[in-house]
Chains A and B, each alone.
Chain A
Amino acid sequence: MKIIVCIKQVPERDAQVRIDSSGKWIEESDIQFAMNESDAYALEEALQLKEKHGGEVVILSAGPERAGTTIREALAKGADRAIQVESDNLNTLDALGVAQLLSAAAKQESPDLVLTGLQSDDMGYGQTGVIMAELMDLPHASLILNVEKTDSGITVKRELEEGWFQNIDLPLPAVLMIQSGGTKLRYATLMGIKKAKTKELSKVSAADFGASDAPGAPAAPAATLEKITQPPKQKSTQIIPGSPKEAAATLVEKLKFEVRII
């Protein structure tokens, strides 16, 4: 099986994000970046499928130069090669625009399976894989925890709300959006990190794919991000001051006399 895994580099979880001077994006200079969480699970699923059935795992990532470190991390974990769609202004595109870039690159590879994460930790659209399926004219399923190969295609386990699940049969090729938690993640080995340095990373510029070449593409984004703000504060939380010891003592008092629970 030839599997494409879409991996996005996003601000690290604990990064202190600040709004930049344009008011439309965050200050990128002072934060660290990491692999999007559900993408790590998509990669793991792909590597396990390859181990069982053979084939190739190709990383596809759109982003600026810095995304290269995350791509190398994926290669170190065992992916075979990578394609980077270089773009410095992804945040000015909408989910359709990004999906157009990714699907244009993915189509050229004629994969059997395309895996994306469920949701990016920065934009949080939760859409890119579903849109890619539409643009590539492939069947899809989202919120997937597990993938099994069958004679006629694949069977996937889909998470439903409130603790329910469902299995779905799909023919190949197909696009899946992978939810986190379906399997255990591996770490990159020293050997893997060494090997990753020599693996192929081909770069294409976003301009080469000219989003407008894609079928039915709008010239401009269908939705524009006008401004970014701090979320409004709705609730007045009583922040308990003092050293850990003092704060703990005060909280116990409050639980006793204000909340009356202990």
Chain B
Amino acid sequence: MKDNTAPLRDKARALLADKAACVIGHARDRDGLRARPHFAKDERGVGALILDATCHHNLAKYLLDYPYLEAKVGIVLKGCDALALERLVADRRVDRAKVVPIGAPCAGMADPVKLQALFPGGVTAVASGPDGFTVTTAAGRQPPAPRAGLLLERCQACHQATPPDTELLAEPVAAPTVGPAAEVARISALPPADRLSFWQGQFSRCIRCYACRNVCPACSCRECVFDQFQPNWLGRRTGLAQTQVFHLTRAFHVAGRCVDCGECDRVCPVGLPLSALNRKLLQDAGELFKLAEPWRPGTTEPLGTYKLDDPEEFM
């Protein structure tokens, strides 16, 4: 993504002048390196907005915090985030008429961990293009960094670089050609016993903080089954069995509905490769039901439909 900070601020100013309640975007974190979600409501807030290749947060789910507003809400959407908005609209959790999407064509995001290792002193802006990253620090523009060295892993499998049917802040960018997800292929090729022990090893680190669920645009139930007290399906008890039930239930819940934004991987504090699980189910849903991967607006949701000729034999 280019540094789109200046056009974004102009757009945000215009929206607020047009009585928008808020513009949801990003600001530079106090560490001078990462970005963080930011809610601009006045000129001071607009002045803190940034939009560059550090702005990897998918903001769509914050729209659930604005259910009863009369005014519109502006929101910055990259290609992947635009699918997340469609997901929430399809689930009837967000009223599209209340949302002003601000389209941000994106050629890939920088990994904050890799960025920190290369630029411990912080950055002022990070731009990405098909050839690599251009990082600007307080000392000025740095020599170009190769794409592979900084790219956020999930961006290697980009499905949609430019939000469709949206007013854009910059020229559209084409998504890179994506091969099959290497991690899914690797895990799928393991013998069943090894695959089980791989996932059990991963799940044994889970602390059940529910960050993956809370950030997920496909997880928008008014009351999550894991928060229900009566009946108490799972409760707070932890252990491998409980953790497996949580992750597998969630994976099936988002199967065929996941937009593959990769936020579950990003927020997990103990580094679980959760998107590999979700991507595997997307691939299965794609093969079994001839669906697009990831989910696209208007497509059938395999676990939300009943058909007599279901390809599952036991049905």
A and B: interacting chains: no
